[in-house]
Amino acid sequence: MKVCKLPSNATNSISKLVSTLFMPALILTNFMENFTVSRLSSAWKFALAGVILVSLSIAFAYVVSIFSSKDEYRKKIHTYCIAFSNFGFMGTAVVSAIMPDIFMSYLILCTPMWIVNYTWAIPALLMPNETGKVFSFKNLLNPLFMAMVIGIIIGLTQLPMPQFINVSIDALGKCMSPCTMLLTGMCVAKIDVKKVLKIKSIYILTAIRLLVMPLIFVLVLCIHNSIMASPCAC
């Protein structure tokens, strides 16, 4: 039973807070504290793994979308959903809460995904563009990416920050996980479950996204780690 105690625009308001304030603050804090010169020796490995994963995701998603629907717009939606899982809102919240020790590595791993997502995926697959131009570096001028860049600069230079600024940013970042969980629940509550369960393609796409692709990624990362750990690896 839906109680509907929150206003209809609550989802958009919380989403804007998460994407423009809470998540950028969390990303900024982690890069400021952890992206140091001493960590650069291993950071490139996670970035390389991210490039490999996002490349495989897009290629695999394109192949699957060809057979998933005859409608061109649905094909784009399917491509986006398969290639780009919720590594942002939900992934960041879960990893930061459950596995804080590897959160910095997770952010570096996801950096190539964020770049491709903002410069190509969202404008090309989700936003109709009459001009036909879908790739633009201007799309990187968003709070999430800018927070990462600023955090990298402060982390590498170890630029001293006033204590009240550090405390404020840290407090904002801690709001991200609970608000994301709340936002996820609110979005799920709006779904017509009976209608969705009748769409056969959802079962296939869900199985691919949650079972097939994770297994492929684990295999790729195992191979990637074995190569990086070999004596001949630079």
**DSSP 8-state assignment for residue 137:** G
Q: Residue 135: what pLDDT?
A: 59
Q: How many domains, in total, are found in the chain?
A: 1
136 assigned to some structural domain: yes
Q: Give the whole-angstrom CA distance, residue 225 versus residue 105.
A: 14
Q: Is the pLDDT of residue 3 over 70?
A: no
pLDDT tens digits, 173-229:
888 878 877 887 887 777 787 887 888 878 888 888 888 888 888 887 788 678 767
pLDDT tens digits, 58-113:
998 888 888 887 888 888 888 888 888 776 666 777 787 788 888 888 888 888 88
Sign of CA dihedral 118, 124, 125, 131: positive
pLDDT tens digits, 5-52:
667 677 888 888 888 888 889 888 888 887 777 777 777 888 888 888
Higher pLDDT, 233 or 150: 150
234 assigned to some structural domain: no
Q: Residue 131: what pLDDT?
A: 46
User: Contact at 8 Å (CB) between 23 and 89?
Assistant: yes
Residue among 104, 99, 85, 84 nearest 40 (CA): 104
Q: Residue 231: what pLDDT?
A: 63
Instruction: State the pLDDT confidence band at 159, using cuts at 50, 70 and 90.
Output: confident
User: Could you tell me the residue range of the domain that residue 146 belongs to?
Assistant: 10-229
Q: Residue 168: what pLDDT?
A: 92
Burial class (CB in 10 A: 0-12, 13-18, 19+), 223: exposed
Q: Give the whole-angstrom CA distance, residue 139 versus residue 112.
A: 14
Residue indicated by tokens 């936003």: 127
Higher pLDDT, 127 or 152: 152
How many CB atoms sit inside 10 A of residue 195's CB?
8
Q: Is the pLDDT of residue 154 over 60?
A: yes
Q: Mean pLDDT highest for which of 15-19, 124-128, 163-167?
A: 163-167
Q: Residue 10: what pLDDT?
A: 79
71 assigned to some structural domain: yes
Q: Give the whole-angstrom CA distance, residue 9 versus residue 11.
A: 6
Q: Is the pLDDT of residue 234 over 60?
A: no
How many CB atoms sit inside 10 A of residue 60's CB?
17
5 assigned to some structural domain: no
Q: Any residues with CB less than 8 A from the CB of 99 and at least 6 apart, and which?
A: 106
Query: pTM for the full model?
Result: 0.67
Higher pLDDT, 230 or 142: 142
* Torsion angle defined by CA atoms of residues 80, 8, 201 and 123, in that order, rounded to the nearest 10 degrees: -20
Q: Any residues with CB less than 8 A from the CB of 176 and at least 6 apart, and which?
A: 18, 22, 23, 25, 26, 92, 93, 96
4 assigned to some structural domain: no
Q: Which residues of 84-107 are buried (b: 16+ CB within 10 A; e: fewer)?
A: beebbbeebbbbbeeeeeebbbbb
31 assigned to some structural domain: yes
User: Contact at 8 Å (CB) between 143 and 21?
Assistant: yes
Rounded (5°) CA angle 89-143-110: 50
2 assigned to some structural domain: no
3 assigned to some structural domain: no
Tokens linked to 82:
């398969």
